[in-house]
Structure 1
Amino acid sequence: MHFTSFSYLPTTDSCVKCGKCIPSCTIFSINGDEVTSPRGFIDLLGAYERGNLPLDKNAKNIFESCFLCNTCVSVCPNVLPTDELIENIRYEIAQKFGIARFKKIIFYLLKNRKVMDRILSFGSIFVPILFKTSKDSSCLIPRIKLPFLKNRVIANIQKESFLASNNEEIIKKDSNKKVAIFIGCLANNNYKSVGDSLLFILEKLQINIKIAKSQKCCGAPMYFTGDFHSVDSLIRYNVEYFESFIDEVEAILIPEATCAAMMIEDWERFMKNDEEMKNRIKKLKPKFQMATKYLLDNTNLITMLEQNATTEEITYHDPCHSRKVLGIYKEPRTLLSKAYKIIEMEDSSACCGFGGVTIQSEKFELARKVGSKKAKMIEKTKAKYVSAECSACRMQLTNVIHNEKIDITFLHPLELIAKALRQ
């Protein structure tokens, strides 16, 4: 597919330079350089389109430092789409400079689940040799210093993925409700207990389940890196697959904020120049639901949780893609507050610093600095658990919590809900 050129000038010309985006900008908060701030990005992209700024390595470095946390969009009086500008310039960067080989390998595996499953299953055999498991079993700690890991822990590697280890249909004959599950790549391969917890909750609620086993990656990692050709093929594949069973289910539940935002908001925006695909996505969108939102709005889960209330204290981190893109933040709190005491941190909506593949690999020092600030907020709550409906946030926060030596355990909201129901 040929991607039409994108104009940055409408946004550049609409920016009144009020500066409201700057104080809350994730990258500006750690380097204080307005060049790498929303106002700076917008101004530079206008200069680029006018021919006054070359797309050289310096410009590449600037535009790849954005965390795409969407804070600027949420606070902008004109709701200027700075995120869309960054996503499109990264496509142009990828076209000019190419995509690093290791990223191509990652994207290939995300697009080919069977290959990924075989590699991770084989790799899990060697995990105990190189790594020890953390006390909560959610991450792996290197036994020896591995330079390429840059002093970080990694997500646990499962011998068998969530999709591979479950039947496609789980049916309760006396139930007339049925939902499908879009699990997401990290929950599928690394944080399998997220999917297991969702299955447990749905079975407790007597809801029929379709595990959409032929699903592929939502395309978010590629989208934020500029690999638009992969995004295009993944959207087209998933849309056709979902259409094959969408009338059988009342919702497709997504326990991951980034996947949900990609499917609910970015798929349609990405396909804005393809009228047929855009309309097909619009028909599917009403059934794409964040898991906690569906459970709150359509089930009696609150009643069940009230009967299993505990005195344990938790704190909740708002993933950028759920709060700032989808406006979902009350729903997980409403559910969790029925079984736990929530201690709010200083700024629950501040970005954790995950930032995507490029930030986590080539600019990890930026991720570490942002994560360290968030870790200190978490530590001040003195809660037993920290939670977020996002496995990317989990990967980032688990790492900084480990490095900052904070005694707290990360559990996904669905894991906490399942934990309460099992009591």
Structure 2
Amino acid sequence: MFEFTKISDDCIKCGKCIPTCTIHQVNADEVTSPRGFIELLGNYQKGELELDKTAKDIFESCFLCTNCVDVCPNSLPTDMVIEEVRKDIANKYGIAWYKRIFFWLLRHRWVMDIASKLGYVFKSCAVKEDKKRGGLIPRFELPMIKKDRLLPSIASKSFLNSYPQRIENRNDRRVAIFIGCLANYNYTDIGHSLVYILKELGIDILIPKKQKCCAAPAYFTGDFDTVEDLAKKNIEYFETFIDEVEAVLIPEATCSAMIKHDWVVFFRNRKMEDWVKRAERLNQKIFMATEWLYNHTELESLLEKRGVRLNSLVTYHDPCHARKVQGVYKEPRALLSKNFNLVEMSDPNRCCGFGGVTIQSEKFHLAEAAGKPKAAMIKETGAEVVAAECSACRVQLSNALYQNGVEAVFKNPLELIAQALKENV
């Protein structure tokens, strides 16, 4: 069993975490607060709390937003201990059949490719298309598909299957792209935009075709066998090309945080020190896309030089896994402000409420409750577009905007940057 007691003993019960906690904001109960989670976990390890269905329900209600870690004076890893207890929950109660199918597909990309193509061909049978918002509305209800919610669109061709493995721009600089599953199959304009930007900068591109899911969905659900399988296979594959690229760019906050932070934590907690070292070596070249483009290229000056000013009013949402886990928040704003009118929300740092597979399926009412105030903040800005470098946030916020009648649409900042570059070609 993971060592929960030490973290519980280190909690000074100051309560600074409580006002920032996403689940506590929508369910104001001491039990479902970081302080409550930690106390219960300590009792669980001491044998004073049975891991019954009530405890399961409590531990699965955490959004893993890391707000509590961000403000904790002792930097206690509440998100990590919740992830660890979810493994115990999965071992005791199993994982729902539809989640197991989903995680199996993540481990077998060739099957996912086929499933995605079939989904695109037959989507009209199950969903209605909302072209304005770029999403799909279900005609009926399934465990992970609730009626009257906006789902991601499905692309006719995945990003990884849209390009050759190497795109040469006759430059001595080369980067690789790790695309993420949602950007690969659903929001493909993200990858297309990144390729366009890199071409404009004259940087050679490697698109590693054998990359697999980062394993974040499985990690947040407690399926650690899938996490270990995907993380090890990705590391082994990355090692075959990492020395020939300057960086691996990831246009997704959750994927980037999983690879840069959670892989190391996962292997360290399993005492797999060799894999820790291998992951840490790769991390020197892993970057969120806007982070690297802002700090290591002339993109900012290129956008300024083009001089085009687009009238769209844009607000930026800080993904939890970008700002709090990786410290990335200034870079996308700096790039967007060159060509767009940027307006801030009253609380851009507030979690959107995506929360992972369990929240989006079995506890979707919590996602809806967390999304509603965020949609109201976006409406208050008057923005036509809300941007964030995270497709999980895009799924959640696109639906929150749709359900709450807010007209704004969601874009990844790379899509907006590419649009600005194209305006003055």
- Name the TM tier (shorter chain): over 0.9
Query: How do residues 30-49 of structure 1 correspond to structure 2 at under 5 angstroms?
Result: 30-49=26-45
1:377 maps onto 2:377 in alignment: yes
Partner of 2:166: 169
Cα distance in 2 between the residues matched to 1:348 and 1:59? 32
Equivalent residue letter for 2:210: S
Alignment deviations for residues 106-162 of structure 1 (CA, whole Å, 9 cap, x no partner): 0011111110111110121121343332234621123x4546424211100112111
- Identify the match of residue 293 of structure 1 among 291, 308, 312: 291
- Quote how far apart the aligned CAs of 1:221 are: 0.4
What is the percent sequence identity of the aligned residues? 54
Task: Determine if contact 2:133/2:398 at 8 Å carries over to the other structure.
Answer: no
Partner of 2:154: 157
Cα distance in 1 between the residues matched to 2:261 and 2:18? 24
Cα distance in 2 between the residues matched to 1:105 and 1:405? 33
More displaced stretch, 248-257 vs 131-140: 131-140
Partner of 1:361: 361
Task: Determine if contact 1:253/1:288 at 8 Å carries over to the other structure.
Answer: yes
Partner of 1:281: 279
More displaced stretch, 266-275 vs 308-317: 308-317
Alignment deviations for residues 51-86 of structure 1 (CA, whole Å, 9 cap, x no partner): 110000000000000000000000001100101110
Give the RMSD, CA atoms, in angstroms.
1.1
Alignment deviations for residues 291-343 of structure 1 (CA, whole Å, 9 cap, x no partner): 00000011111112122232321000000000111111111001111111111
Partner of 1:76: 72
Cα distance in 1 between the residues matched to 2:313 and 2:172? 36
* TM-score (norm: length of structure 2): 0.96
Runs of 4+ in 1 over 3 A off after TM superposition: 144-148
Partner of 1:321: 321
Alignment deviations for residues 341-388 of structure 1 (CA, whole Å, 9 cap, x no partner): 111001001000000000000000000000011000000000110000
- Any idea what SS the aligned residue of 2:205 has? strand
**Structure 1 residue ranges without an equivalent (≥5):** none
Task: Determine if contact 2:164/2:207 at 8 Å carries over to the other structure.
Answer: yes
- Identify the match of residue 209 of structure 2 among 205, 210, 213: 213
Cα distance in 2 between the residues matched to 1:362 and 1:179? 39
Equivalent residue letter for 1:257: A
Cα distance in 2 between the residues matched to 1:126 and 1:311? 37
- Identify the match of residue 48 of structure 2 among 47, 52, 59: 52
- Any idea what SS the aligned residue of 2:198 has? helix
Alignment deviations for residues 370-423 of structure 1 (CA, whole Å, 9 cap, x no partner): 001100000000011000000000000011111111111111000000111110
Cα distance in 2 between the residues matched to 1:139 and 1:85? 35
Task: Determine if contact 2:137/2:147 at 8 Å carries over to the other structure.
Answer: no
Partner of 2:330: 330
Task: Determine if contact 1:216/1:234 at 8 Å carries over to the other structure.
Answer: yes
Task: Determine if contact 1:314/1:341 at 8 Å carries over to the other structure.
Answer: yes
- Identify the match of residue 67 of structure 1 among 57, 63, 72: 63
- Any idea what SS the aligned residue of 2:260 has? helix
Task: Determine if contact 1:137/1:156 at 8 Å carries over to the other structure.
Answer: no
- Quote how far apart the aligned CAs of 1:164 are: 1.3
Task: Determine if contact 2:126/2:140 at 8 Å carries over to the other structure.
Answer: no
Partner of 1:203: 199
Aligned residues: 417
Cα distance in 1 between the residues matched to 2:310 and 2:81? 46
Partner of 1:253: 249
**Structure 2 residue ranges without an equivalent (≥5):** none
